[in-house]
Amino acid sequence: MAHDHHEHDHPHDHPRGSELTPVEARVRALESLLVEKGYVEPAALDALVEMYETKVGPHNGARVVARAWTDPAFRARLLADATPAIAELDIGGRGGEHMVVVANAPGEHNLVVCTLCSCYPWPVLGLPPVWYKAPPYRARAVIDPRGVLAEFGLHLPESTRITVWDSTAETRYMVLPERPAGTEGWDEARLASLVTRDAMIGTGLPKLPELAE
C-alpha cells in the first residue's frame, strides 16, 4: 500500500554509551533466562546473530542495488518483478517471498514502513533496526514522512514528492536509491560499499563517494 505526501517526522533516539533501550534490556533478560534454564545454547544464539550480521544482512541488498546501478536489464527485471530478480543473486528465503522494489528518482523519494507490525525483508536487509519496529516511527512515517526524514537528517526539497510504502506479511518493500554522482566506472563491489540499510528503507541516502574511501 502506498501513501503519497509532499510534506513529512520521527523520533530517532540512539542509546548513549552502553545504555540499553527498554527493548534491548528485555531481550537481554529473556536471553539470559533461556540460557540459564537450558532451553537455548549460547553458541546457537551467537551463530544465529552472526548469520544475520555476516551472511544475511544489508550487504545483500547492497549487492542488489549495485547490480541495478550497473545493469539496466537487471534493473528493469527488478522493478517489474523483484523476487525472481533478487533470486538471480542467490538471495531469498522466508521474509522475502514477495518483494517489491521502488526506485527513487529526481524529485521522487520513497520511504518504507510497516504500520501493522514490523514486516521487514530479512533476507535482503538483515536484522531490522529497533526504530523500524517502534510505534512512533510506524505511525508518524505515514502522517508526517517529511518530518520523520528530517529527524534522520535527511532534508528533502519541498518540491520532492514522497511516497510511503506500507509493508505487509504478503508484500515487503525495498527502496532502490539513486546512484551517486562521481561513481562512473566503479565496479559492483565498490558501488555496494556506498549502499546503506537506511538508504534501502528510504530514511537515508547512499554514502557520498568521497566519504567511502
Find the CATH number of the domain harbouring 168: 3.90.330.10
Cβ atoms within 10 Å, residue 114: 21
Domain contains 32: no
Percent of all residues in the chain with a pLDDT value above 70, rounded to a whole number: 70
For 201, the domain range is 2-18+58-211
Instruction: Examine residue 36 and state whether it is found in any structural domain, yes or no.
Output: no
Residue 27, in any domain of the structure: no
State which amino acid sits at residue 83.
T
Is residue 119 flagged as an active site residue? yes
Q: Does some domain include residue 47? A: no
Residue 153 lies in a domain: yes
pLDDT > 90? residue 66: yes
Is 119 annotated in some ligand binding site? yes
Confidence bin at 195 (pLDDT 50/70/90): very high
pTM of the model as a whole: 0.76
Mean pLDDT of 164-182: 95
Instruction: Indicate if 118 belongs to the active site.
Output: yes
User: How many structural domains is the chain composed of?
Assistant: 1
Q: Please give the sequence-ordered ranges of beta strands (E in DSSP) within 39-98, or none if there are none.
A: none
Residue 8 banded pLDDT, cuts 50, 70, 90 = very low
**140 assigned to some structural domain:** yes
Q: pLDDT tens digits, residue range 80-104?
A: 999 999 999 998 766 556 999 999 9
Quick one: average pLDDT of 3-10? 47
Tell whether 137 is covered by a domain. Answer: yes
159 counts as catalytic = no
Which one is catalytic: 119, 159, 167, 193? 119
* Lowest-pLDDT choice from 41-55, 166-180, 196-210: 41-55
pLDDT at position 22, please?
66
Flag whether 18 is marked binding: no
What pLDDT sits at residue 123?
Answer: 86
| Mean predicted lDDT score pLDDT of the chain | 83
Active site residue 193: no
Q: Report DSSP letters for 167-213, one per residue.
A: --SS-EEEEEPPPPTT-TT--HHHHHTT--HHHHHTSS-PPPGGG--
Is residue 75, in this structure, part of any structural domain at all? yes
